[in-house]
Copies of this chain bind each other. A is one copy, B any other.
Amino acid sequence: MSELRRDPVIGRWVIISTERGKRPSEFPREPNNNTGKACPFCPGNESLTPPEILAYSEPGRARDSRDWWLRVVPNKFPALKIEGALNRQGEGMYDKMHGLGAHEVIIETPEHNKEIQDLPDKHVEDIIWAYRDRIMDLKKDIRLEYALIFKNRGAAAGATLSHSHSQLIATPIVPKRVREEVNGAKDYYEYKERCVFCDIVKQELSLNQRIVTENDDFIAITPFASRFPFELWLLPKSHDSDFEDIQKHEASNLAVMMKEVLRKLDSVLDKPPYNYVLHNSPLKESHLPHYHWHIEVIPKLANVAGFEWGSGFYINPTPPEEAAKFLRESE
């Protein structure tokens, strides 16, 4: 079983995935671009994944059979598992607990070579509904405190399989970075009596320097203090701390914007590896006046962001105003 371990200085919990137990030779330098035949996410290969948790398909389909258009399965090499108790304990001065939680894979499409921007709008909307369905379901488990939804595209961004997919990791603690963001937003709210993200939306709309695109429900911006070149945030225009509250028209507009933004990134940066992360309120903290869910997209460009991991110190060689201009003017 994997372990959650707490750094005694910073207080950051880390998942030590002992089941994976990667040996030095097991860090490949090259991406694993399986062909459709060997790909566990392709139709016909359903038996290569653990039994499915959820599938969007025509009615009457048998579980783990073909003919789905979206499928959610447990990660075959899970960082965390749903069985067991937390079992918090010390180890001398250190603190640890069992790696309880969930680790799921959202297989976004049956088509091996399609990416999000290649799919019909309705299909991308279904990916959003799948994110929501899984969060709603995991929320029922009172042992869980946070559900993190993210996507790695490209080996350099951490993807081990090229077939388009997202992941969900649910944890029995609120990750430190999430806590900082929620608390930072709360400090702002207490001082200003306004949501900091609502203020960002307003200011960006009125300045119109860092907006990449907007529609009725969302804006996509390159944030003022971007850590990375071409970093992008997708923010709902209406205040809501909980992604799960998303309205039908919002899901539809978010799908359109995600396609647009990912197409622009591919066009401007020549199909870069990227990560996106859904920033959502903790599972047990709903309807917060100070927090505002959003999506952060980070292209992983070579020769930047080396030592930043280790130092928390960021140098961004491309001003967000320039990045926004390139993205705005691209297809």
Which A residues are closer than 8 A to B by beta carbons? Answer: 5-18, 20-24, 27-30, 79, 91-94, 148, 150-152, 155-160, 169, 171, 175-178, 180-181, 184-185, 188, 196-197, 199-200, 203, 207, 223-230, 268-270, 273, 275-277, 296, 298, 300-320, 322, 326
Write 21 A-B pairs (CB below 8 A) sorted by A numbering.
A8-B199, A10-B184, A11-B184, A15-B315, A20-B317, A21-B318, A24-B230, A24-B270, A28-B302, A93-B199, A94-B225, A150-B311, A155-B303, A158-B306, A159-B303, A169-B313, A275-B309, A275-B310, A276-B310, A277-B311, A298-B310
- B185→A9 contact, CB < 8 A: yes
Given contacts A159-B306, A306-B157, A309-B298, contact A27 B229 (CB under 8 A): yes
Q: Is the CB of A303 within 8 A of B158?
A: yes
Taking a contact as CB atoms closer than 8 A, the residue among B9, B27, B228, B296 that contacts A302 in the complex is B27
Q: From A228, which residue of chain B is reached at the shortest CB distance? A: B309
Q: Is the CB of A223 within 8 A of B311?
A: no
| Most chain B CB within a 10 A radius of its CB, from A16, A155, A171, A318 | A16
Q: Choose among A8, A300, A309 the residue with the greatest number of B CB atoms under 10 Å from its CB.
A: A309
| Interchain CB contact under 8 A, B92 and A9 | no
User: Nearest 4 pairs between A and B by C-beta?
Assistant: A158-B306, A177-B312, A7-B225, A20-B317
Q: Would A22 and B275 count as touching, CB distance under 8 A? A: no
Checking B21, B175, B207, B319 against A311 with a beta-carbon cut-off of 8 angstroms, the contacting residue is B175
Question: Do A310 and B296 touch (CB < 8 A)?
Answer: yes
Contacts of A17 in B (CB 8 A): 315-317
Contacts of A12 in B (CB 8 A): 225, 227, 312, 314
